[in-house]
């Protein structure tokens, strides 16, 4: 409660009038305030103006509070408006307290809980426009807010008396500003009106795939609302393409994560039925359910593990604010025209306007609010039951253990922090103990699944077994909506054991997580050393270079006295400045630093001071956005590549160029067209054939090129690398909305990309002809991998650890007269390749190469076939990526040179 009070005090304003008779006379209608009727063709309310309006409403209505919760990545306000009856707002703290008690059944007995369900009211968390090109819902909420704040109908009074509505008007304000500003700036110009780049600085459309790694500020602010208020359901308003159904409402389609409590699926279904019913009563056509959207990945559904059904609505899109019409010029509907059990009434016109989106949105939100208000006790009771069943859990697996002796204490700490942020309780052992036949050292962490948020812990820590879903037996796979694996330990390089039998251990609750700090040793005669296994070492390295301390690595294994020195061990001269940087990193990350009084007799490298990295971030390419986030987190000396760079000497600018997945040859040569995008997009114009030749030359003259995922093909084409793809090119990659590297600037060829909205083919439609089995399918899984820790790119990796793979490629080496190649990481010579998730066609990967290092002229190339750092989630692989970046420009040293540290 204290936390909440603190936030309220910091808020810019909390407006509650004490007049009991206010009826909204002093409140302007949306049409007056914005100067147009909400939903008017061509007109979109700007986000800052929406906030002004919410403040205006809050100032005039006793049913509403308004607060600033923080600022976004680009510095816009992230706000929350709270609606309820005056009586409920007056006792808001008590209502929140009730939610907290119901969500931890250990605090209350059944009788007390039932009394609380009568005293409390359910909280309905509603947010719009996480995907910023889905502009309609951001308009709809203006009308919803106006009605909740002013309307005197029995319906609205019943809703406000029996629920609290938490409204976040935009879950991604930055993008809303970008997209709507671009819309108006390009009015009456020859330019494309769809914003062509990522509408979130780092994540773009992936911004709703971050609900377990919590990397972005907006994600964390949203989770903070869950943590503080503990709502009973969350409604996430989206839009999909214009050519399918008019609206999707729950229930979802299979598969669902079996860790989701059945009552939550039932809650989804009930809200969905209420929505469908209201739409049909209003004569609205084109509603579909049990279709398209599944419930597998926690990356999209934090709430499903925190006692709440996720209510997703997906409404068809217009052309942003302009009407969508049949491109053929006739008014014939483009979507399905046959009714079915999950699609009761087909629609009959292709025309679809902003006003339709607003109208459908308003109908479904009020239908859901009514359902919740009408059954308020049931909502609170089910909320209690879900948590109660987890607290009472008494079946295998019972717990997960995170042993205290880890290769990377930093990532171990990071993993525990993620669980802690999601409110998972963590215990620590006071002494060694045995579970499932393994003895764990003192200080090991235990995550007991019998706890309120056991569902989140279980799904994040176990290995995923995805059902083998096909259109017909032996037929093509039914695509999942998103990826199929999310096992945190495997993603982060942390050993985590599942415990299937009961065990005893002396445990204490971890109240505050801190890094395990091993103090910096006394200043050695020769150098400080750092194991290559820790990701935190890279943070230390960039900080050391920032203050002018040179950094070295050993190239081979060695033994000095009783100390083993692994290949790739970091060597830092023991200066005063180095000591300060290392002490700080140790404090922040738990990095372990050792000391050597005499040098090992091995060769090594000296890293190039402040290695200059060019990141090729083609417009609207999510892997590029994530990579930028990653480089900023680790302090790499990097810059986004611009077409203007190609007017200069590339070697004066970059030591390394990184091509994230999706950086295709066409996209870098052609880029955005100057005819469709003004000068401000010049950086993203194509480099043309001369730029292409320049890039070739730059590598051969000594540059280092690192290519990931589909960009490996770009590198192969650029330099004629001696590798050949071995997987079928066509991989049934049909999850269009979520395919990070597929989100091309297809505006160039089409009037408007459907892909800017959520869009996937329907499972109820038969597969297109040609979408047959290719013998291989991997929509996002963790696959087994062997690494060579003796190769500079593999330094610090375990000899075996899974990597992430999503619609990617694997390779075999071919011969070349002038290019040498060495495999760093490969798929093992085994039958089964899956570590977590879903894969068809294991045998095609057997013994194939994933990461290959080449010498090309005076330069070097590293190709990484699979998206090993996908969405910045498989953190164990950051080492491979950073090694690839730092190795090429480094200087080789013999043992005498290394000993001198010069």
Q: Which residues bind Zn ion (CB under 5 A)?
A: 131, 238, 758
- Determine the distance from the C-alpha atom of residue 553 to the mean position of all C-alpha atoms in its chain, rounded to a whole number: 33
Considering the complex, what minimum distance in angstroms separates the CB of residue 202 from Zn ion? 17
Nearer to Zn ion, 319 or 847 (CB): 319
CA proximity to 704, closest of 851, 817, 858: 858
Q: Name residues whose C-beta falls within 8 Å of residue 706's C-beta, 6 or more positions apart in sequence.
A: 656, 657, 658, 659, 861, 862, 864, 881, 884, 885, 888
Q: How far is the CB of 173 from Zn ion (least distance, A)?
A: 16
Count, in order, helices (H) and strands (E) of the chain: 24, 36
Give whichever of 131 and 806 is closer to Zn ion, judged by the CB atom: 131
Distance (Å) of CA 357 to CA 179, 237, 277, 491: 17, 11, 17, 39
Residue 442 beta carbon to Zn ion: minimum distance, rounded to whole angstroms: 47
Minimum CB–partner distance for residue 204 and Zn ion (Å) = 11
CA distances from 627 to 77, 659, 695 (A): 25, 10, 21
Among residues 131 and 146, whose Cβ is nearest to Zn ion? 131
CB of 593 to Zn ion, least distance (A): 45
Instruction: Give me the least distance between CB of 146 and Zn ion, in Å please.
Output: 24
Nearest of 614, 693, 700, 697 to residue 658 by alpha carbon: 614
Q: In Å, how far from its chain's centre is CA 169?
A: 20
Q: Residue 757 or residue 785: which is nearer to Zn ion going by CB?
A: 757
CB closer to Zn ion, 193 vs 209: 209
Q: CB 161 → Zn ion: shortest distance, Å?
A: 32
Give Cβ neighbours of residue 45 (< 8 Å, ≥ 6 apart).
30, 34, 38, 53, 138, 139, 142, 180
d(CA 493, CA 8): 39
Residue with tokens 């780049």: 197
Nearer CB in complex with Zn ion: 126/520: 126
Shortest separation between residue 280's beta carbon and Zn ion, angstroms: 24
Contact partners, residue 461, CB within 8 Å, separation at least 6: 400, 447, 487, 488, 489, 496, 498
CB closer to Zn ion, 147 vs 238: 238
Secondary-structure breakdown of the chain: helix, strand, coil percentages, each rounded to the nearest 5: 35, 20, 45
Q: Respond yes or no on whether the N-terminal peptide bond of residue 186 is cis (omega within 30° of 0).
A: no
Of the pair 359, 758, the CB lying nearest Zn ion is at: 758
The distance of closest approach from Cβ of residue 621 to Zn ion in the complex, given in angstroms and rounded to an integer, is 18
CA 78 from chain centre, in angstroms, equals 19
Q: How many residues are there in the chain?
A: 902
Cβ distance 167 to 371 under 8 Å?
no
For Zn ion, the closer of residues 292 and 860 by Cβ is 292
- 562's tokens: 């009783």
Return the number of the residue (292 or 429) whose C-beta is nearest Zn ion: 292
Cβ 743 to Zn ion shortest distance, Å: 12
Cβ 239 to Zn ion shortest distance, Å: 6
Separation of alpha carbons 367 and 359, rounded Å: 12
> Which CB atom, from 63 or from 238, has the smaller least distance to Zn ion?
238
Cβ–Cβ under 8 Å, residues 477 and 470: yes
Q: How far apart are CA 472 and CA 543, in angstroms?
A: 56
- Kindly state the smallest distance separating residue 238's Cβ from Zn ion, in Å: 3
- The runs of H, that is alpha helices, within 596-661 are 622-633
HEC string of 747-771 equals HHCCCCCHHHCECCCCCCCCCCCCC
**With respect to Zn ion, which residue has the nearer C-beta, 409 or 480?**
480
């Amino acid at each position: 409660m204290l936390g909440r009070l603190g936030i309220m005090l910091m808020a810019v304003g909390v407006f509650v009038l004490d007049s009991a008779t206010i009826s909204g006379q002093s409140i302007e209608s949306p049409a007056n305030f914005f100067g147009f009727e909400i939903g008017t063709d061509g007109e979109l309310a700007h986000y800052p103006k929406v906030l002004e309006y919410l403040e205006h409403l809050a100032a005039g209505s006793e049913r509403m509070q308004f607060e600033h919760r923080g600022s976004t990545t680009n510095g816009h306000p992230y706000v929350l408006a709270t609606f309820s009856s005056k009586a409920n707002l007056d006792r808001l703290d008590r209502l929140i307290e009730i939610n907290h008690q119901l969500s931890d059944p250990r605090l209350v007995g059944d009788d007390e809980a039932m009394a609380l369900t009568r005293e409390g009211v359910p909280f309905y968390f509603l947010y719009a426009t996480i995907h910023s090109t889905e502009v309609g819902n951001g308009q709809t909420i203006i009308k919803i807010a106006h009605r909740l704040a002013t309307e005197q109908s029995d319906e609205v009074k019943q809703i406000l008396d029996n629920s609290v509505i938490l409204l976040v008007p935009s879950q991604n304000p930055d993008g809303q500003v970008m997209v709507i500003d671009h819309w108006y700036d390009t009015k009456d110009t020859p330019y494309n009106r769809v914003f062509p780049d990522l509408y979130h600085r780092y994540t773009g459309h992936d911004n709703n795939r971050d609900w377990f790694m919590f990397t972005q500020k907006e994600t964390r602010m949203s989770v903070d609302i869950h943590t503080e208020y503990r709502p009973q359901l969350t409604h996430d308003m989206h839009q999909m393409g214009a050519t399918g159904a008019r609206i999707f409402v729950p229930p979802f389609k299979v598969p669902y994560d079996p860790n989701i409590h059945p009552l939550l699926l039932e809650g989804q279904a009930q809200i969905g039925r209420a929505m469908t019913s209201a739409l049909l009563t209003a004569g609205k056509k084109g509603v579909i359910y049990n279709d398209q959207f599944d419930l597998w990945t926690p990356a999209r559904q934090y709430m499903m593990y925190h006692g709440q059904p996720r209510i997703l609505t997906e409404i068809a899109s217009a052309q942003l604010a302009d009407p969508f019409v049949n491109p053929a010029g006739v008014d014939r509907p483009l979507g399905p025209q046959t009714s079915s059990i999950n699609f009761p009434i087909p629609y009959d016109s292709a025309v679809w306007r902003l006003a339709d989106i607003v109208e459908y949105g308003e109908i479904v939100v009020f239908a859901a609010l009514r359902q919740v208000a009408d059954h308020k006790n049931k909502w609170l009771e089910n909320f209690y039951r879900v948590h109660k069943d987890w607290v009472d859990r008494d079946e295998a697996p019972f717990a997960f253990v995170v042993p205290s002796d880890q290769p990377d204490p930093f990532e171990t700490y990071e993993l525990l922090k993620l669980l802690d942020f999601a409110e998972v309780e963590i215990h620590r052992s006071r002494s060694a103990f045995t579970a499932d036949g393994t003895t764990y050292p003192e200080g090991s962490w235990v995550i007991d699944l019998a706890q309120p948020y056991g569902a989140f812990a279980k799904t994040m820590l176990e290995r995923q077994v995805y059902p083998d879903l096909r259109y017909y037996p032996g037929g093509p796979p039914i695509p999942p909506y998103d990826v199929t694996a999310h096992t945190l330990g495997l993603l982060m390089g942390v050993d985590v054991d599942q415990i299937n039998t009961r065990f005893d251990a002396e445990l204490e609750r971890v109240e505050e997580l801190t890094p395990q700090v091993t103090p910096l040793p006394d200043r050695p005669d020769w150098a400080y050393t750092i194991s290559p296994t820790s990701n935190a070492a890279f943070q230390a390295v960039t900080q050391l270079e920032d203050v002018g301390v040179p950094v070295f690595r050993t190239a081979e294994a060695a033994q000095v006295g009783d100390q083993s020195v692994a290949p790739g061990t970091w060597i830092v001269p023991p200066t005063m400045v180095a000591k300060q940087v290392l002490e700080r990193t140790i404090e922040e990350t738990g990095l372990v630093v050792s000391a050597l009084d005499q040098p090992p007799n091995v060769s090594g490298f000296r890293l190039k001071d402040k290695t200059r990295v060019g990141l090729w971030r083609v417009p609207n390419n999510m892997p590029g956005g994530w990579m930028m986030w990653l480089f900023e987190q680790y302090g790499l000396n990097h810059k986004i590549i611009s077409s203007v760079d190609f007017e200069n000497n590339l070697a004066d600018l970059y030591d390394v160029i990184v091509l994230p997945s999706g950086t295709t040859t066409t996209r870098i040569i052609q880029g955005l067209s100057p005819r469709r995008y003004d000068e401000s997009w010049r950086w993203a114009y194509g480099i043309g054939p001369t730029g292409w030749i320049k890039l070739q030359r730059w590598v051969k003259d000594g540059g280092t090129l690192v290519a990931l995922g589909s960009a490996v093909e770009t590198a192969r084409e650029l330099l004629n690398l001696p590798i050949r793809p071995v997987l079928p090119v066509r991989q049934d990659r049909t999850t269009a909305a979520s395919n990070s590297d597929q989100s091309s600037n297809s505006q160039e060829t089409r009037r408007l990309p459907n892909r800017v909205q959520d869009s996937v083919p329907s499972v109820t439609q038969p597969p297109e002809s040609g979408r047959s089995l290719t013998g291989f399918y991997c929509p996002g899984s963790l696959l087994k991998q062997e690494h060579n820790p003796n190769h500079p790119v593999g330094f610090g990796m375990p000899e075996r650890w899974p990597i992430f793979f999503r619609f990617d490629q694997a390779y075999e080496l071919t011969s070349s007269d002038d290019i040498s190649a060495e495999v760093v990481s490969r798929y093992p010579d085994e039958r089964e390749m899956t570590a977590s998730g879903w894969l068809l066609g294991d045998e095609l990967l057997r013994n194939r190469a994933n990461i290959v290092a080449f010498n090309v002229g005076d330069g070097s190339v590293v190709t990484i076939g699979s998206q090993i750092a996908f969405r910045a989630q498989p953190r164990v692989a950051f080492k491979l990526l950073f090694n690839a970046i730092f190795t090429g420009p480094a200087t080789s040293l013999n043992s005498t040179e290394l000993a001198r540290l010069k």
